[in-house]
Amino acid sequence: MWPEASCPSATRRTLTPAVMPSPQTVLLVEDNEDNRIVYSTILGHFGYRVMEALNGEEGIAKARAEKPDLILMDISIPIIDGWEATQVLKHDPVTRSIPIIALTAHALASDRERAMEVGCDGYLAKPCEPRAVVAEVQRFLGRPSGTGPDANQPAPATTDVVAGGATR
């Protein structure tokens, strides 16, 4: 039924390292399921591999085991909150160089200051547009393989409407 051209995954896996870099990995530490789905989906769309952790303890364990390229750290998470988890990771030689972007529920100046104090490399106040999350990730990691969409650019549909001079 399927055409011969569909690439067997085993072959693809063998060729991948030589042909192109493996996708950059983002560890999303977030206890809210809706946010996890939204952020995972858009990051995957933009070419990143996404791992998820539901609390601070799991986040620390996965960061140490998987060494992701970047961590998105919700601050209000169970067991170990995002402030403490960030401090732990920034004091661990194995994980200290991994950029951590804090996601906080309050747009308070004190939160931004605290994010920097505990060693966060970036800071986003919730509610946070999915595209803003991608743009912040791209600021640190660039675009996967250099050819993916740029979250900072307007969506193609918008461009088309403007370029076509469509009636409003």
Give residues in contact with Mn ion (CB under 5 A).
Answer: 31, 74, 76
Closest by Cα among 108, 149, 144 to 131 = 149
**In the bound complex, what is the minimum distance in angstroms from residue 142's beta carbon to Mn ion?**
28
**In the bound complex, what is the minimum distance in angstroms from residue 57's beta carbon to Mn ion?**
14
Rank residues 31 and 121 by Cβ distance to Mn ion and give the closer one. 31
Rank residues 76 and 95 by Cβ distance to Mn ion and give the closer one. 76
**In the bound complex, what is the minimum distance in angstroms from residue 73's beta carbon to Mn ion?**
10
Handedness of CA 149, 151, 157, 158 (dihedral sign): negative
Closest by Cα among 86, 96, 98, 125 to 109 = 125
Rank residues 30 and 136 by Cβ distance to Mn ion and give the closer one. 30
Element (H, E) at 16: helix 9-19
**In the bound complex, what is the minimum distance in angstroms from residue 90's beta carbon to Mn ion?**
20
122: Cβ contacts below 8 Å, ≥ 6 apart: 99, 100, 101, 102, 136, 139, 140
Burial (CB count within 10 angstroms: exposed 0-12, middle 13-18, buried 19+), residue 149: middle
Three-class HEC string of 119-146? CCCEEEECCCCHHHHHHHHHHHHCCHHH
Residue whose beta carbon is closest to Mn ion: 76
**In the bound complex, what is the minimum distance in angstroms from residue 31's beta carbon to Mn ion?**
4
